[in-house]
């Protein structure tokens, strides 16, 4: 059966037009979540679940930001503005990259640099070496490249040590993944590292785990963090679990604009509703996902649209 990009259709035909008619009740800022910038095709999976962005599409995204007057902000600046009602977030955007792939150095950074834009790259430190190591079959940055990018103004944050499902690890391992990655980054870069990106789908409904994770992050000295919860960051998720907007090669400029302007924020409510439905009626919740019209029950990938 042909695949239908239901999330794109709903966004462009319904939610983005409605969003443009309604004034936001609170300040928001789009935090863009990229992964690999390469010609890689993610094994033919549905566009909703892809994480790779081709260099051409990435160039188009960054040019669109420039041509439409957007300026990049750091996560610290975003947190400060969201916490203070007087902060100005108009035409501001945060650009982030997960997993520390080497193609950030070869393909993404030259484009960002050409337009004067900054970014934050979240590294799983076990896969960053003195020579290129691979994560999920893709080469990652080397420490020499990380230091070079850092000197050029790129910010780095923790993406744990080994990128595990944090809900499944023992408490001492959780602490190691959080503290160990931060310590390694600080030792290698010679500066304070204060941001964290949660790997995989964020367990938004697991309040006990969220409290435990927040305590670990605070104790380790982090001051900000991002998740894979979809939407523009608005402060409601807390400074450690801010929402992001997933990006990939299938984000044409119409969908890209809609995401920046809040037309994709509806997906968060859908995700929450689906998780609640799954808790009480698993068979019904497993049959439909926002990226498809028909997906077989039980085919879940354990991700909030995209991997973190």
The reply to whether 183 falls in a domain is yes
The reply to whether 300 falls in a domain is no
The pLDDT assigned to 43 comes to 60
The reply to whether 112 falls in a domain is yes
d(CA 131, CA 198): 25
Phi-psi region of 128 (alpha: psi -120 to 50; beta: other; left: phi over 0): beta
Per the structure, the count of domains in the chain is 1
The pLDDT assigned to 57 comes to 97
The reply to whether 305 falls in a domain is no
This prediction has a pTM of 0.90
The pLDDT assigned to 293 comes to 40
What is the domain-level CATH number for residue 151?
3.20.20.370
3-state secondary structure 22-84: CCCCCCCECEEEECCECCCCCCCCCHHHCCCECHHHHHHHHHHHHHCCCEECCHHHHHHHHHC
pLDDT digit string (tens) for the chain, length 308 residues: 335 688 999 999 999 999 888 876 778 999 999 999 999 765 667 787 899 999 999 999 999 999 999 999 999 999 999 888 656 788 999 999 999 999 999 999 999 999 999 999 999 999 999 999 999 999 999 999 999 999 999 999 999 999 999 999 999 999 999 999 999 999 999 999 999 999 998 998 899 999 999 999 999 999 999 999 999 999 888 999 999 999 999 999 999 999 999 999 999 887 777 666 665 665 554 544 555 443 322 333 344 456 67
Domain around 191: 6-285
The reply to whether 95 falls in a domain is yes
The reply to whether 86 falls in a domain is yes
The reply to whether 281 falls in a domain is yes
The tokens for 48 are 């909703």
Q: DSSP secondary-structure letter at 224?
A: E
């Amino acid at each position: 059966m042909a695949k239908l990009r239901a999330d794109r259709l709903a966004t462009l035909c319904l939610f983005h037009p409605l969003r443009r008619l309604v004034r936001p009740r609170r300040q928001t800022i789009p935090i863009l979540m990229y992964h690999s910038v390469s010609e890689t095709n993610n094994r033919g999976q549905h566009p909703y679940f892809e994480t790779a962005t081709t260099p051409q599409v990435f160039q188009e995204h960054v040019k669109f930001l420039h041509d439409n007057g957007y300026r990049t902000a750091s996560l610290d600046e975003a947190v400060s503005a969201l916490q203070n009602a007087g902060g100005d977030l108009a035409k501001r955007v945060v650009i982030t990259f997960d997993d520390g792939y080497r193609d950030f150095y070869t393909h993404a950074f030259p484009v960002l640099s050409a337009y004067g834009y900054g970014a934050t790259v979240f590294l799983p430190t076990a896969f960053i070496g003195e020579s290129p190591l691979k994560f999920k079959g893709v080469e990652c940055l080397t420490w020499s490249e990380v230091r070079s990018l850092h000197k050029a103004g790129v910010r780095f944050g923790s993406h744990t040590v080994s990128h595990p499902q944090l809900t499944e690890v023992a408490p001492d391992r959780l602490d190691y993944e959080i503290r160990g990655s931060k310590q390694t980054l600080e030792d290698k870069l010679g500066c304070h590292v204060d941001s964290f990106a949660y790997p995989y789908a964020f367990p938004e409904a697991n309040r006990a785990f969220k409290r435990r994770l927040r305590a670990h992050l605070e104790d380790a000295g982090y001051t900000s963090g991002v998740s894979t919860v979809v939407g523009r960051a608005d402060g409601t998720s807390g400074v450690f679990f801010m929402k992001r907007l997933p990006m990939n090669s299938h984000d044409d400029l119409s969908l890209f604009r809609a995401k920046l302007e809040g037309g994709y924020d509806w997906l968060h409510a859908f995700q929450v509703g689906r998780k609640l439905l799954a808790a009480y009626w698993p068979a019904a919740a497993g049959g439909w996902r926002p990226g498809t019209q028909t997906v077989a029950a039980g085919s879940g990938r354990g991700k909030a649209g995209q991997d973190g």
